[in-house]
Amino acid sequence: MQNLSHCFICGSKSFRELFQKSSPAGFSFTLKKCRSCSLEFLDPLPDEDDIAKYYGQEYFSKRTDRGYDDYFSSQLRREIERVIKLNLGDIGFFKYEKKLGPVKRSLDIGCAAGYFVNYLKERQWDSYGIDISAECVNFAKNTLKLNVERENYLKAQFNAKFDLITLWATIEHLHHPDLIIEKALHDLKPGGCLYISTCRTGFNFKIFQRAKWRYYNFPEHIFYFSSTNMTRLLEEKGFTVKKIFTYGSGFGNAGTMLRTCADFIARQFFMGDMMVIAAQKELQEIRESECIQPDPLKSYALQ
Ligand SMILES: [Zn+2]
């Protein structure tokens, strides 16, 4: 177990304790919050090597409040595709896709069973995925016949750059979000896009649920971002944030009128406890050596 020594977004070492909660295995975790940028994180951080065991077969096939009922069922697959299509429309994906040439490459990090990889493949993308779950990767490779590998993204090497990299509900699970974003910038073509969806802290429907918030699943979720600190992280790593929208309330029971109304308000008024962000790599990276430094003496002479 490790502790975060300083915030990787703002560098602060000043944290506030929010509350403690136990994992199903009985380990106690404290949720801490950076006093400067409001990043929330688990203390201690769960061991990186132990994380894969949380995403074994049960996570994807057994009904719990943490994983999925049956991730491999066609019903859940259709539901995931429906949500993805909604998100893609809102984030401007279809307009972006139209501008690309015939060869389009994508990478989905934390692709699970590969449904998004498959969705893009059906749209004629050269689509790839990586995940740490052996069960998911086997399903994606053997049943859906996709280009999916079981790999740690930070160690993965690719022979060509991508037009699109996606992290659908994945970054909150990962130990080094800052390094992931840095590598994504490197692995994208100039002008390429990064889409991130993640649960969202800050002013939203979460405030009614506090420690019972539906996404406070310890220790699967390690980091919790706000739209502000995520934007800051992306911009500091060199991305331009193009669009952010939020959705989801978790308010009331699923299928009720109350939930429908709360979800509507969440989407319309930036009150969702989920957010989707589109960030773009600059078309041309300006190297420092290429910048023309004004000569102060010359400027003076011209006046
Ligand atoms: Zn911070």
Counting Cβ atoms within 10 Å, is residue 34 exposed (0-12), middle (13-18) or buried (19+)?
buried
Interval 200-250: pLDDT, tens: 998 787 787 888 888 998 888 999 999 999 999 999 999 999 999 999 888
CB-count burial class (<10 Å; 0-12, 13-18, 19+) for 16: exposed
Report the separation in Å between the CA atom of 182 and the middle of ligand 1, taken as the mean of its atom positions: 17
Give residues with Cβ within 8 angstroms of 18, minimum separation 6: 30, 31, 32, 33, 40, 211
CA 87, chain centre distance (Å): 13
In whole angstroms, give the CA distance from residue 199 to residue 169: 7
Please report how the helices 74-91 and 115-122 are oriented relative to each other, as an axis angle in degrees rounded to 10.
Answer: 70
Q: What percent of the chain has pLDDT over 90?
A: 63
* β-pair type (162-168, 105-109): parallel
Of the candidates 160, 133, 6, the one whose C-alpha atom is nearest the C-alpha of residue 72 is 133
H or E stretch including 190? strand 188-199
Identify any residues that bridge with 109 across adjacent strands, giving them in sequence order. Answer: 130
Buried b (16+ CB within 10 A) or exposed e, 168-181: bbbbbbbbbbeebb
Residue 254 has pLDDT above 90, yes or no: no
Q: Are 130 and 111 in contact (CB under 8 A)?
A: yes
What's the gap in Å between 15 CA and the centre of ligand 1? 8
Compute the distance from residue 168 Cα to the ligand 1 centre, in Å. Answer: 23
Q: State the pLDDT at residue 69.
A: 56
Q: Which two tokens stand for residue 83?
A: 């949500």
- pTM attached to this predicted model: 0.87
Tell how far the Cα of 12 is from the centroid of ligand 1, in angstroms: 5
Output Rg (C-alpha) for the chain, integer angstroms: 21
Structure tokens at 2: 């490790």
Q: Please give the pLDDT value at position 205.
A: 79
pLDDT in tens, 257-293: 999 998 888 888 888 999 999 999 998 755 544 444 4
Position of tokens 């539901």? Answer: 79
Q: What is the 191 CA–ligand 1 centroid distance (Å)?
A: 28
**120 CA from centroid of ligand 1 (Å):** 35
126-131 and 147-150 as β-strands: parallel, antiparallel, unpaired? Answer: parallel
Can you name the residues that pair with 94 across neighbouring β-strands? Answer: none
What is the band of 302 on the pLDDT scale with cuts at 50, 70, 90? very low
The whole-number pLDDT of residue 72 equals 73
What's the CA-to-centroid distance between 301 and ligand 1, angstroms?
A: 46
Residue 111, amino acid: C
- What are the tens digits of pLDDT across the range 167-187? 999 999 999 999 999 999 999
Q: With contact defined as beta carbons under 8 Å apart, do 151 and 128 qualify? A: no
Cα separation of 100 and 131, whole Å? 26
Euclidean distance between CA atoms 161 and 287, whole angstroms: 19
Residue 77: the pLDDT is 82
CA-wise closest residue to 189 among 104, 129, 95:
104
Surrounding ion ligand 1 within 5 Å at CB are 7, 9-10, 12, 34, 36-37, 39
